[in-house]
Amino acid sequence: MQVTVPEDILKKTTRCIHGFACLSEEWEHCGIVKGLIEGKLLAIEVDQNRERSCNYRVFFGGGSFCTCPTGVEVFKRHGA
């Protein structure tokens, strides 16, 4: 399934170093999404075996969070 995201969201994602891989069918999450926070932030449990660098991952208070506008939108639309 090809994932589509509105152009205005894509334009907000200015620091993506993976070429919007999250929009392709082959993309695999770097962890399990534990929840959506205020519609803007994903709490994630990172899979240490598949961890990869990302400019939108933030570590805070012992947790890991995704601040990527495109990643958040993909989760909102597809739950994945």
pLDDT(3) > 90: no
Report percent pLDDT > 70 for the chain. 91
pTM: 0.84
Confidence of residue 40 (pLDDT cuts 50, 70, 90): very high
For 41-60, write each residue's pLDDT tens digit.
Answer: 999 998 777 667 889 999 89
Residue 28 has pLDDT above 90, yes or no: no
Residue 20, burial from CB neighbour count under 10 angstroms (0-12, 13-18, 19+):
middle
Among residues 1, 61, 4, 59, the alpha carbon closest in space to that of 31 is found at 59
Predicted confidence (pLDDT) at residue 38 exceeds the cutoff of 90: yes
The gap from C-alpha 45 to its chain's centroid, in whole angstroms, comes to 12
